[in-house]
Amino acid sequence: MSLKRSPGVAYSITVRAEYPNEPGMLGKITSAIGGSGGDARAVDVVQAAANVMVRDFTINTSGLDHADLVVASIKSVKDVSVLTVSDPTFLLHVGGKIEVQSRFSVNTRDDMSKAYTPGVGRVSMAIHERPESVWALTGKGHTVAVVTDGSAVLGLGDIGPEASLPVMEGKAMLFKEFGGVDAWPIVLNTKDPDEIVSIVKAISPGFGGINLEDISAPRCFYIEERLKKELDIPVFHDDQHGTAVVVLAGLINALKVVNKKPSDLKLVLAGVGAAGTACARILMEYGVKNIIGYDRHGALHNGRDYGDNESKIWFAKNTNPMEIT
């Protein structure tokens, strides 16, 4: 049984409607919106004349089909003309969500001479002579590369590097807005793990850290492990460790509420990809002893054949102590 999605801002629409400027018309329109299951978030006047009113109705819906139904309901109101229907989510993405901004203005010739040539050459030579000074004299220390191959994007699957770009821009925004860290999407048109490692190593001098994002399992484990060994900057696979940290935090609080210990639990993980495996590892370190992981074929146990999938082999050997099948 599928769960019905509630109307939300992710599927909001803005309907511009024109109708006679008469008492009761606004009520008829909002009733039509509510009757079709829409959630009217805002009503804004665009134009008001003696005989005509134009308003924008911003409405939360539960999906594309539901949005069409809401629009049809508004159109069904007598004397109402729908002029335009826009999607605020798509409008927000027009032109992309991030940009490069200078930390100071270049207003004079002197500013230019210090920020760029000839003055910048002195800074470059200082870094050449003392490589560690790159952390102080450039933006390296507050810049992260958000790297993906587009193979496991959100719940959408393997949609490719171009389609992953809006998600990576969004992650870069989160770095900046909530952490004050500059981040830039690096979307790679390759799924070869060794090639990905080589590319990231080649671009790493310009970044203070590497955030791996939405790379499918089990390749993501190999890529992260190699980069951690071969780079001298932090490497973090968000799908694994970001998820695991949040799950552990929730579990710690839940155990306090029910007054239990980690060793008291019998825990089921639905999904043993990148996130599920990382969750299992961090929960085991915290003291959870009995974890049973399920993939699309059922419970993981030592009696199954996992081929060359080393992450699932590890999972089967280290979890499910009762060998539940």
**Under a CB-based contact definition with an 8 Å cutoff, are residues 288 and 263 in contact?**
yes
CA–CA–CA angle 214, 217, 223 (5° rounding):
80
Assigned CATH for 241-318: 3.40.50.720
User: What pLDDT, on the 0 to 100 scale, is given for residue 232?
Assistant: 95
Dist CA 222 CA 141 (whole Å): 26
**How high does pLDDT run on average in the chain?**
94
- What is the bridge-based pairing of β-strands 298-299 and 290-295? antiparallel
- The string of pLDDT tens digits covering residues 283-297 is 999 999 999 999 999
Contact (CB, 8 A) for 324 and 301 = yes
For the chain, the domains span: 8-92, 138-233, 241-318
Q: The pTM is what? A: 0.81
Q: Which CATH number fits domain 8-92: 3.30.1740.10, 3.40.50.720, 3.40.50.300, 3.30.70.260?
A: 3.30.70.260
The secondary structure of residue 186, as a DSSP letter, is: E
Please list the active-site residues: 116, 171
The pLDDT score that the predictor gives to residue 3 is: 57
pLDDT 10s digits, 179-232 = 999 999 999 999 999 999 999 999 999 999 999 999 998 899 999 999 999 999
Can you tell me whether residue 211 is helix, strand or coil? Answer: strand
Q: Calculate mean pLDDT across residues 134-163.
A: 95
pLDDT of residue 109: 94
Q: Average pLDDT for residues 151-155, to the nearest whole number?
A: 91
Tokens at 313, concatenated: 């082999």
- CA 172, CA 187: separation in Å to the nearest integer? 12
Mean pLDDT, residues 91-106 taken together: 93
Q: What average pLDDT does range 21-32 have in this prediction?
A: 96
- pLDDT of 1 > 50? The answer is no
Q: What is the mean pLDDT of residues 85-108?
A: 93
- In this prediction, residue 172 has a pLDDT band, given cuts at 50, 70 and 90, of very high
Is pLDDT above 70 for 2? no
Q: Give 61-91 pLDDT, tens digit per residue.
A: 999 999 999 999 999 999 999 999 999 999 9
At 325 the pLDDT is 84
Q: Identify the three-state secondary structure at position 242.
A: helix
> 294: how many CB neighbours lie within 10 A of its CB?
16
Residue 166 has pLDDT above 70, yes or no: yes
Q: Which residue has the tokens 């790297």?
A: 147
CA pair distance 10, 88, nearest whole angstrom:
9
Listed in sequence order, the residues at least 6 apart from 183 whose beta carbon sits closer than 8 Å to its beta carbon are 143, 144, 145, 146, 171, 172, 175, 176, 211
Q: What pLDDT is recorded for position 309? A: 86
8-92 and 138-233: same fold? no
Integer Cα distance of 226 and 267 in angstroms: 30
Architecture of the 138-233 domain = 3-Layer(aba) Sandwich (3.40)
Q: Residue 276: which H helix or E strand, with range?
A: helix 274-286
| pLDDT tens per residue across span 104-145 | 999 999 999 999 999 999 999 999 999 999 999 999 999 999
pLDDT interval class at 274 (50, 70, 90): confident
Written as one string, the DSSP assignment of 56-125 is: EEEEEESSHHHHHHHHHHHHTSTT-EEEEEE-HHHHHHTT-S-----SS---SHHHHHHHSTTHHHHHHH
d(CA 79, CA 83): 13
Identity of the amino acid at 19? Y
- Supply the pLDDT for residue 217: 85
Amino acid at 301: H
